[in-house]
Structure 1
Amino acid sequence: MAPAPAPAVAPIPPASGERAKHRPRPVVASSPAPKARRLSGERKVPRPSPRAKRAQDDLVARRLRLANAPTPAGEAAIDPTRRPHPAQTPTPGVTDLVQGIITALRFAAESAGMSAEDIEAKLAAAIAYVRRRIEGDYAVDEFGYDPHFTENVVLPLLRPIYEKWFRIEVRGIENIPAEGGALIVANHSGTIAIDSVMTQVAIHEEHPEHRVMRALGADLVFQTPFLGTYARRTGSTLAANTDAERLFAKGELVGVFPEGFKGVGKPFKERYKLQRFGRGGFVAAALKAQVPIIPTSIVGAEEIAPIIGNMGTVARLFGLPYAPITPTFPLLGPLGLIPLPSKWIIEFGAPIPTDGFGPRADEDPMLVFDLTDQVRETIQQTLYALLMQRKSVFF
């Protein structure tokens, strides 16, 4: 059998120049088309099997039947592709975390004997505090005292220590005036000088007017990082007559511990024996401002960290007034700094008036000395009386 003749190809007129170079070549109709090559990395798509193709056709037919079916009155046509998904458990988020924290706080508060109303009030107060701090809706006085921070953060943290740990008994709170300036003079002890803080809490909690005692502190307190900032935020200021006089002029209640580091750093064998009260600068400030002096005696602070030794070399190395050795420190490390739970008594004595000495009484050194000695002797005798009444150190 003779081969079929090749199809005739129409002649193409010759082209000249650039047009001739890019002229497409004729393609013979009977020649097979070139196969497209698969690029490297390209996956070959498998063809659907006959079974899968039949299942797909059945699904299309079912959708057509449902779409053409009559719809009952008052109901919308059901689209199988838009069926509602079943309810799923939401993933934990911020809301769940907050709810968990609130639940935990409520459980802890209920375990402590607080009612649901108290819990809600505490949470509302916390939210209001954060909002005011963010908005800057609070005031700080010229000495750095921040009452909003003190009443909402510091006092709630100190109340359990005041009520449960030291179980402080307050006497003579009526001797503190309801308004106007006054000078609180107290003995100093306890190694870590927490007695000034507890005196501030006692006056605020027990006084009918919830007065704030502005304590006068040593230079070292305000030079210590964090401690100095905390002291100023809670109302303390430098132990200087100028600061005391400015506070008296504003009608503030000022507290001073004239023994200083000699009182808090004395050995346990000298407990409740008052050290020298200095040159009586606090008395001169009270005389100049003509405010009453209230002798205050604190029993129980000597036993929170009894000093049985002093590391003098370490103290000189770090520039400290003393480096105490107690039954728990440095033996237990940082845990040794936790004060022992002794039973405290704070007694505010009868006020000593100063307004009858005249306007220039502060310039009389003999009067200042005699009044200083009177205050010191009053505190010492009260300490002896309280020690005789105390049944136990811890109960």
Structure 2
Amino acid sequence: MNDDRRTIGSGGKAGRGNRSTSPSSAARSLAGGAQRPKKPVTKVKKAATSTTTKPAAKKTTKAPPKPAKKAAPAAKKAPAQERPRLRAVTDEDAAAAAAAAAEEAARKTRTAGSASLPAGIPLDEIVVALVQGVQRVLGSDWESRLATFFAVLRKRLSGDFAVDEFGFDPQIAEILVSAVEPLAEKWFRLEVRGVENIPSEGGALLVANHSGTVPIDGLITGYAVKKYSGRDLRPLGADLVFALPFVGQVARKVGATLACTADAERLLTGGELAGVWPEGFKGIGKPFAERYKLQRFGRGGFVSSAMRAQVPIVPVSIVGAEEIYPLVGNVPSLARLLGLPYLPITPFFPLLGPLGMIPLPSKWIIEFGEPIRTDAYEPEAADDPMLLFNVTDQVRETIQQTLYALLVDRGNAFF
């Protein structure tokens, strides 16, 4: 048996082995079939392999935030002795809080009051300044005129008013005069000349030049006649005036009527002051470059009415209306579409919208010339076209020459 044991193995000598670090299977069987030991090195190798394959930057980027998250709540925690203790609110605390709230409200009220009023100016002085401003615009007798307005309003509401056959309402005319006065006297600084040439009674025909893009000159002329002579002017208007909604009704109420021979003769024979602007839309719609150059006066229809009624013709020259809306352009295609004689373009309209409709504050002068008598002719002379042409040309030339003289006297249009 000893010989058999000696034949197994290498006899104490180093064997050749299989160049492996682990024992062979035969050696393991001779060792009694011991269990194969675990290889902890493989885990280390894997960990080492993972550390070598993965970039080191990923570990460094994830590591810093972890201590910060843990340290944040610890920093916020306050010591137990510093935490405030809750207690019941007493009556003294409630009274103190109410007093503090009242003081804060009073402070805000004082701050708002001081911001709404100019610094250092008492309220009573501001009220006095406002009243003085109203007196300057409306006049010193604004209180009496306000009382008159309410009296007229009371009569209107009670139905105690009358109109003539043309629809003229004297009470409405009075209100219009009061409304136009600040515009004429303060804005346009109106100067009226030759009031003595307006007949104090009986019929007369006032013939004036027409200008201004918007027919404000008719409104101001009616105001001047009423203010300085005490008589009502009955304007003769175009068909378009009475075709416009609301405008036509108001025009009738203030004394206007259609510019036709029949209505004109009825007014003149009835002893009324009638006003006519023979240039029509050609006058108010002419370019600003042609200002104060009179257009044609038609075919003498107004002269015919004056001759048949045997009333004088009073030439009226108006300076100042040309500058309130300087007409620099026109849109005829759109005007025809809207049914208007022209669609004006001024330096401010439609560029500035509604603000462009504010008239410029030009200096106005209205002069009533010496009457041209027509009672020297027979009523039948109104059928003579040559005579009508001559008288029409005489009236037109008188107004044109007066305009030139007034322009020289006025000087600058705005100062």
Q: TM-score, normalised by structure 2?
A: 0.67
Q: Deviations over 1:302-325 (max 9, x none)?
A: 000011111111111111110111
Change (3 A) 1:179 1:105: farther
Residue 164 of structure 2, aligned match among 123, 138, 141: 141
- Secondary structure at the residue paired with 1:112? helix
Q: 1:177 — aligned with what?
A: 199
Gaps (5+ residues) in structure 2? 1-125
**Is the CA contact (8 Å cut-off) linking 1:182 and 1:248 kept in structure 2?**
yes
- How far 1:156 sits from its partner (Å)? 1.2
Contact 1:106/1:119 (<8 A) preserved: no
Are 1:282 and 2:305 matched, yes or no?
Answer: no
| Percent identical | 62
Q: Take 2:296 and 2:354, find their aligned partners in 1: how far apart are those partners?
A: 31
For residues 106 and 224 of structure 1, do their structure 2 counterparts lie closer, same or farther at Cα, with a shift above 3 Å needed?
Answer: farther
- Partners of 2:225 and 2:206 lie apart in 1 by 11
The 3 A distance-change label for structure 1 pair 123 and 371 is closer
Structure 2: how far apart are the matches of 1:301 and 1:118? 28
Structure 1 residue 226, shift from structure 2 partner: 1.3
Query: Is the Cα–Cα contact under 8 Å of residues 203 and 269 in structure 2 kept in the other structure?
Result: yes
Contact 2:135-2:142 within 8 A present in 1 as well: no
2:337 pairs with 1:317: yes
- Measured after TM superposition, the shift of residue 359 of structure 1 is 2.6
Label 1:385 to 1:111 Cα distance change in 2 as closer, same or farther (>3 A): closer
In the alignment, the residues of structure 2 paired with residue 105 and residue 136 of structure 1 have an alpha-carbon distance, to the nearest angstrom, of: 37
**Counterpart position of 1:155:** 177
After superposition, the C-alpha distances for 1:118-140 in whole angstroms (9 at most, x for unaligned) are 56534532332222112111111
Q: Which structure would you say has the larger Rg? A: 2
C-alpha distance in structure 2 between counterparts of 1:281 and 1:238, whole Å? 13
Which residue in 2 is equivalent to 1:337?
357
Q: Give the equivalent residue in structure 1 for 2:244.
A: 224
**How far apart are residue 169 of structure 1 and its match?**
0.5
* AA in 2 matched with 1:206: Y
Aligned position for 2:113: none
Q: State the SS of the aligned residue for 1:339.
A: coil
Within a 5 Å distance, the mapping from 1:289-368 to structure 2 comes to 289-368=309-388
Q: Deviations over 1:276-335 (max 9, x none)?
A: 111110000000001000111111100000111111111111111101110010101122
Q: Structure 1 stretches (4+) deviating beyond 6 angstroms? A: 104-107
For 1:374 and 1:232, how far apart are their aligned partners in 2?
A: 31
> What is the alpha-carbon distance in structure 1 between the residues aligned to residue 381 and residue 266 of structure 2?
18
Distance in 2 (CA, whole Å) between partners of 1:281 and 1:124 is 43
Aligned to 1:16: none
Number of residues of Structure 1 aligned to a counterpart in Structure 2:
289
The 3 A distance-change label for structure 1 pair 236 and 389 is same
Q: CA RMSD in A?
A: 2.1
Name 2:149's counterpart in structure 1. 126
Name the structure where helix makes up a greater proportion of residues: 2
In structure 2, what is the Cα distance between the partners aligned to 1:156 and 1:167? 16
1:339–1:361 distance in 2 versus 1, CA, 3 Å: same
Alignment of 1:51-200 (within 5 A): 108-113=130-135, 118=141, 121-151=144-174, 153-200=175-222
**In structure 2, what is the equivalent of residue 391 of structure 1?**
411
Indicate if the aligned counterparts of 1:362 and 1:368 stay in contact, CA closer than 8 A: yes
Mind listing any 5+ residue stretches in structure 1 that lack a counterpart? 1-103
Quick check: 1:109–1:119 contact (8 Å CA) kept in 2? no
Task: Decide whether aligned partners of structure 1 residues 354 and 105 sit closer, same or farther in structure 2, where only a CA change above 3 A counts.
Answer: farther
